[in-house]
Amino acid sequence: MALRFFNSLTRSKELFQPLVPGQAGLYTCGPTVYNYAHIGNFRTFVFEDLLRRALTFRGYRVTQVMNFTDVDDKTIRGSQAAGESLEVFTARYKQAFFEDLDTLRVQRAEVYPAATEHVGEMVELIRRLRERGHTYEDAGSVYFRLSTFPGYGRLANLNPEQMRSSGRVDNDEYEKEDVRDFALWKAWIPEDGPVFWETELGKGRPGWHIECSAMSMKYLGEQFDIHTGGVDNRFPHHENEIAQSCCATGGPFAGTWLHSEFLLVEGKKMSKSLGNFYTLRDLLEKGLDPVAIRYTLLSVHYRAQLNFSFEGIEASAQAVRRLRDLNGRLGRSPAGPGSGDKVWQLTAACETDFTEALDDDLNLAGALGHLFTWVREVNALLDSGSPDAGELERLQAWLNRVDSLLDVLREEQDESAEGRVAELVAQRAAAKQSRDFPAADRLRLEIESLGWVVKDTPQGPVFHRR
Ligand code: AMP
Ligand code: ZN
């Protein structure tokens, strides 16, 4: 286990050393659910999927938490414009987000806490900050006093010039280099309509930053391993999270911070405010293959900017086809006399080079270079018909292992796949009923190999896509 990450906090590559050996706690800032996420957002979420899968690939048990920002200015205004309650309005976009994650084959996090369901925890955290002298109140709102945290600005690398607070702000998303005391709790204003909580802090709602501190600590502990987001989250959002969390606990917060670069359109950040965005649904309507979109987002290093283009997606579609072709060939090829030690040698070399690149701050682009060299060599061996049964198995096993990261080999999910899995789930239930546990285990493995997961509940088994 030798993963190294570029830690935004120290601006250097560091060996990943989790708090508990073999386990990784991961907090990934989630979507603001006032609209469909655009594929710039999905670049960040697919990067986090790669991170999660790379940790698993290297043997870690991952606990990932991703929040839903379901109360802020944008969600409140959006719900008012739609004439819906905040709950109904945001529920639609939460649901759409999960559908899009499935389309892009992003693995589910362990927990998706919603801000509106954790206001109690946020109030508690603000109370701790108040007790330690880090807050002040004005007109019913509670602000964080930046001057009480000397470590402020470390993550965003602000220089001392920039470090003088220029007042205070109620807006959650202020400009870079504009250092301000920020709102932890916002007093109710008539524009918020029915959206408020009556708490010991008064009538109002939480600020944006406090939600991630409260929910990460609740599910991962006061100190945890990795915190991620897009580069625009680094300041002020993550800087503020660190200030609040460290001041509330008196100890450290997340050890490693990873930030993914922007997806660009014609040289500009893809964003809702610039109007230069595509949602995933826009692209599917144009007939693009979601697996090629996934591959495109994965194939450029996460700390490099990625220019969105239709040509880029077509190139990815070709790469996916080459991998699927090889997969199909391995399944169909008859066993030959054996390649000597060629299969073992070139596969072991690919494994070493691929894993080294991945370990080096998730350099999947480099790793894919090694993979495609291997694909070429394997195709040549298959042309000559030499690999024997054991060698074919070895090749297939490595391709499957790589696909545990990429998840591109499965062909489009069709209805018949679901029917087949339902059948296997029923057979497994029958095997368990007759206490044939080895058969039940085998069936579970078969279900998982098709990309599905089965879980037993008091109401009987349920199954869903991985
Ligand atoms: P939001 O829903 O605005 O809170 O954003 C969700 C995530 O998407 C955050 O981690 C952002 O940093 C990230 N993000 C927003 N725009 C882009 C972009 N153009 N490229 C990559 N990530 C982005
Ligand atoms: Zn956050």
Q: Which ligand is nearest to the CA of 67?
A: 2
Which structural domain range is residue 135 located in? 18-274
Count how many domains the chain has: 3
Atom of ligand 1 nearest to the CA of 229: 10
CATH number reported for the structural domain that contains residue 333 in this entry: 1.20.120
Residues 177 and 255 occupy one common structural domain:
yes
Ligand 1 midpoint to CA 270 (Å): 9
Residue among 269, 262, 217 nearest 241 (CA): 217
Looking at the CA of residue 263, tell me the nearest atom of ligand 1.
20
- With a CB cutoff of 8 Å and minimum separation 6, the contacts of 73 are 171, 172
User: H/E element holding 44?
Assistant: helix 39-57
The closest of 137, 255, 259 to 204, measured between CA atoms, is 137
189 shares its domain with 332: no
Residue type, 176: K
32 and 76 belong to one structural domain: yes
Give the binding-site residues of ligand 1, using a 6 Å CB cut-off: 29, 31-32, 40-41, 43-44, 229-230, 232-233, 262-263, 269-271
pTM of the model: 0.89
Find the ligand nearest to 276 CA.
Answer: 1
Yes or no: say if 361 and 4 are a contact pair by the CB < 8 Å rule: yes
Averaged pLDDT, 81-107: 98
**Residue 304 DSSP code:** S
Q: Do residues 242 and 349 share a domain?
A: no
Q: Is 55 helix (H, G, I), strand (E, B) or coil?
A: helix
Other C-beta atoms closer than 10 Å to the C-beta of 258 total 23
Q: Do 120 and 256 fall within a single domain?
A: yes
Buried/exposed code over 51-79 (b: 16+ C-beta within 10 A; e: otherwise): bbbbbebeebebbbbbbbbbbbbbbbebb
Q: Kindly list the protein residues that place their beta carbon closer than 5 angstroms to ligand 2, a single-atom ion.
A: 29, 212
Could you give the percent of the chain with pLDDT greater than 90? Answer: 84
- Closest-approaching ligand to the CA atom of 238: 2
Same-domain check for residues 255 and 398? no
Does residue 4 lie in a domain region?
no
Over 60: is that where the pLDDT of 415 sits?
A: no
274 CA distance to ligand 2 middle (Å): 22
- The 10s digit of each residue's pLDDT in 418-462 is 788 888 999 999 999 999 998 888 788 777 767 778 888 887 898
Same domain, 181 and 325: no
84 and 32 in a common domain: yes
What pLDDT does 168 receive? Answer: 87
First to last CA, the chain: 24
Would you mind telling me the total number of residues written for the chain in this entry?
466
Residue 95 lies inside a defined structural domain of this protein: yes
Q: What is the pLDDT, as a whole number, of residue 1?
A: 52
Q: What percent of the chain has pLDDT over 70?
A: 98
Q: Report the sign of the C-alpha dihedral through residues 320, 323, 329, 331, in that order.
A: negative
pLDDT of residue 466: 66
Nearest residue (CA) to ligand 1, atom 8: 41
Same-domain check for residues 103 and 222? yes
67-92 pLDDT, tens digit each: 999 999 999 999 999 999 999 999 99
Tens digit of each residue's pLDDT (9 = 90 or more) over 17-40: 999 999 999 999 999 999 999 999
- How many Å apart are CA 25 and CA 11, to the nearest integer? 21
**239 and 110 belong to one structural domain:** yes
What is residue 459's predicted lDDT score, i.e. its pLDDT? 79
Same domain, 137 and 208: yes
Q: List the one residue out of 271, 237, 235, 229 whose CA is nearest residue 40.
A: 271
Choose which residue among 42, 44, 65, 265 to substitute to test ligand 1 binding: the one with the highest number of ligand atoms within 8 A of its C-beta. Answer: 44
**Largest Cα–Cα distance of the chain, in whole Å?**
83
Residues 374 and 446 in one domain: no
- Which of 232, 258, 277, 302 is the pocket-test mutation for ligand 1 (most atoms within 8 Å of CB)? 232
Last residue of a domain, one of 209, 242, 274: 274
- Residue where one domain finishes, among candidates 274, 295, 328: 274
